[in-house]
Amino acid sequence: MQRTQEYQTLLYACQQEGCPICRLLQESTQRYLRAWQYEHFTDVGIREELRRTRGFCHTHTWQLVHLGAALPIAQAYRDIISDIIEQLQSGQHEVQPPSGSLLRRFFEAKQEASRCPACQQQRKAEERYISSLRQALLDEAFYAQFTESQGLCLPHFQLASTLKLSSTPGDWLARLRKAQLSCLQRLDGQLGELIRKHDYRFKDEPRGPEMKSWQRAAGLVAGEE
């Protein structure tokens, strides 16, 4: 075999602890995410592709959060949130979840009939909470509190909107969509403020809750960590 650079890289990885392929994949992914964070997030083509896929998957979104990619996440995920706001305002029935999202993994796990007891318990609890949420949305006090919250992440919003459960009387779906829209619009405004305050002309303005909006956007688009 010709001793290429990749050969040398593999050889070095074999001298380290653990699976050499796992190690090299982790390093490669880390390089990709750092390149996106510092260089590629402004690229129009890359931004459009990310918009189409509804952001990075859950794992890589949170890797970017831990890398401190505040402005890149704020700008890229605001695009996605703006698209969801438009869909809700236009009355579209379904909001597509992000690729690699918790929701997609939920259905994949069900199809694979996972034997993990903890996974089975989690799915049962998820269905139970969604059923309770639908009923609670008809209560005015809960609805007001929910509207002032950060709202559901997009995977759970899609799941809450479409999951086949026993029928809940009342127009809970319209109330869910209206409340979620309010939450998204509030976050969209905070992301706009965060992006504006990254401009040197406004860097001395008082800082508020908008400074953590990029982390909330990551959790909303991909699901909480």
- Separation between Cα atoms, residue 119 and residue 36, nearest integer Å: 33
Average pLDDT of the chain is 83
| Cα 5 to Cα 164: distance, rounded to the nearest angstrom | 53
Higher pLDDT, 2 or 188: 188
Does residue 61 register a pLDDT over 80?
A: yes
Indicate if the pLDDT at residue 206 is higher than 80. no
Rounded (5°) CA angle 45-47-52: 95
Model confidence at 178: pLDDT above 90: yes
Residue 210 banded pLDDT, cuts 50, 70, 90:
confident
Task: Note the pLDDT of residue 144.
Answer: 93
Does 182 score more than 60 pLDDT?
A: yes
Q: What does the pLDDT look like over 14-40, one tens digit per residue?
A: 787 777 777 888 888 999 999 999 988
Residue 147: its pLDDT value, please?
Answer: 92
Angstrom distance (rounded) from CA 52 to CA 49? 5
Is the pLDDT at 2 greater than 70? The verdict is no
Domain boundaries, the chain: 39-222
Tell me the C-alpha distance between 222 and 211, whole Å: 19
Element containing residue 16 per DSSP (H, E)? none
The pLDDT of residue 82 is 93
- Contacts of 13-22 with CB under 8 Å at 24 or more apart are none
Question: Which DSSP symbol is given to 207?
Answer: P
- Answer yes or no: is pLDDT of 208 > 80: no
> What is the model's pLDDT at position 40?
87
Give the pLDDT of residue 94: 60
pLDDT recorded at residue 96: 58
Find, among 50, 62, 35, 68, the residue nearest to 222 by Cα.
Answer: 62
